[in-house]
Amino acid sequence: MSATAPLRPGHFHGGIHMPDHKAESTALPVAAVSIPSRLILPLQQHIGAPAKAVVSVGEHVLKGQLIAAASGRVSAPIHAPTSGVITAIEDHLVPHSSGLSARCIIIDTDGRDEWANLPPPIDDFSTTDNAVLIERIRESGIVGLGGATFPSSIKMEARNNSIDTLIINAAECEPYISCDDMLMREQADQIVSGIRIIQHILGVKRCLIGIEDNKPEAIRSMSAAVAVASLHNTEVVSVPTLYPSGGERQLTLLLTGKEVPSHGIPANIGIVCQNVGTVYAIADAVLKGRPLISRIVTLTGEGVAKPQNIHALIGTSAGELIAQAGGYTDKANQLICGGPMMGFSMPTDEVPVTKGVNCLLIASEQDCPPPEPATACIRCGKCAEACPAQLLPQQLYWHSRSRNFDKAQDYHLFDCIECGCCSHVCPSHIQLVHYYRFAKTQIWSKEKEKSKADHARQRHEARVARLERIAAERKARMRKKKAVLKSKKGGDDSAKKAAIAAAVKRAAARKSASRAETESNQGATQ
């Protein structure tokens, strides 16, 4: 057990220092959940296959009731955030950089907030089978709340991979975002309970809670909660404020000195990393039986009247939350889902909050100035100096721009975490990350096409093989039939010959008998 521990010797390459803009949204406590008149719940709120609706239009649902089931191992169910009536299952705008629509379940709320029958709490989780705990996490629809939205139960299945370290990612390094900070200040005890549950499931030897040093209140709160709970081999570690220290690979290196291999995951080096919000949700699911139906969202920027954090129901529209935070100011210029570095602009505030939305930045022109026109690359190398993944952004840019995607992959394109550091420091104002995203999308598209083509080829080859097999079987049956017929025909000839011989013999006997009788009659007459 330890209070705040010194930083480990590990450090990551590059990164940038920026004004954090956290204080604007941490002056007020987290606002309570308010029930909107309508909830919009996309079936795709996680990495993996979309959930499948298990309700129908017109059906009345209760808070916490399953409304969409997971459609595979890498998928997550969705539950009703409050009681109401299903009014539609249709396409609606969702928070995605593409600006496209997706299938959603729409609930008109009834204001009663009436709970469904929830699974019983598992108070004594230390004596409960791990499979039961993992299934509870899976059925509760819990995904990574740091933005990745990877189904959390799958990470819990890593126990058999010699996991010895649990990392709680509480760095929250991107400017303006403060939801994890406020969660740790106000709910440290439940977070510690979630840590104990995960430690039990994974059987880890130690736990490291990484928090950037610009969050002193959160550090104190978590240190006190760890001390009270007497968590053994658990340390709260203060890390320097440097973007993107909250990247999974970067934080792992900071805390342990170990580097996650290219194309690998922390589990490959004996580590599981969970976001602090995810840990809180796991405690809620195990100890209270509650599925993931709400989360804390940061409302911030010069374009909103009262920057703050709000405990929001999943499916609440951005406009409803902004209204709860005092509405827009005259400086509102852009609505960004996420932070200024990795977020994306949204065309309307009718887009709903999903499990992966941690911030709504209502930015003024000063918060997020419009990008300056790009000029030619001057090969200064600043992008490479800032890249936390130790890539060569300039080379990736040239190959992505020229659509030489094979060459881009040779320069480890998919190790890029799209943090935006390279774009931020580029003196030529080239939006480098846009080119990398384009290249990745094209490669994924080609891979899907290749996969479809391979699947079609396999189906064709299987069909040809099946037809050849059927033809061969038919020929074999015909050969067998002919052989049988031939065999039968040979037997019939022998029988016929014997019958003919017998008939000839009988005829000869009758003829001989007739001749003898005729001769006898003639002798008698004479």
Residue 493: per-residue pLDDT: 64
Q: Quick one: average pLDDT of 86-93?
A: 96
The closest of 95, 255, 230, 233 to 169, measured between CA atoms, is: 255
**Which residue type sits at 249?**
R
| Cβ–Cβ under 8 Å, residues 11 and 285 | no
Q: DSSP code of 72?
A: S
List, in sequence order, every beta strand (DSSP E) within 57-120: 60-61, 66-69, 78-79, 84-93, 101-109
Of 490 and 32, which is predicted with more confidence?
32
| Spatial separation of the C-alpha atoms in residues 29 and 62, rounded to whole Å | 29
**Which residue type sits at 282?**
I
pLDDT for 8 beyond 70? no
Global pTM value:
0.84
280-284, 435-439, 447-451, 515-519: least confidently modelled range: 515-519
pLDDT for 330 beyond 70? yes
| Spatial separation of the C-alpha atoms in residues 237 and 48, rounded to whole Å | 32
* Farthest CA pair distance, the chain: 156
The closest of 1, 16, 7, 4 to 387, measured between CA atoms, is: 16
Question: Which secondary-structure segment (H or E) carries 266?
Answer: none
Domain with CATH 3.40.50.11540 in the chain: 4-361
C-alpha 273: how far from chain center: 15
Residue 501: per-residue pLDDT: 81
- Cβ neighbours of 383 (radius 10 Å): 27
Residues 6 or more apart in contact with residue 33 via CB below 8 angstroms: 294, 310, 311, 312, 313
Residue 522: per-residue pLDDT: 65
Residue 83: per-residue pLDDT: 98
4-361 topology per CATH: Rossmann fold (3.40.50)
| pLDDT single digits (tens) 254-305 | 999 999 998 888 999 999 999 999 999 999 999 999 999 999 999 999 999 9
Question: Which secondary-structure segment (H or E) carries 414?
Answer: none
For 172: left if phi > 0, alpha if psi spans -120 to 50, otherwise beta; the answer is left
Distances (CA, A) of 71 to 77, 79, 292: 8, 14, 17
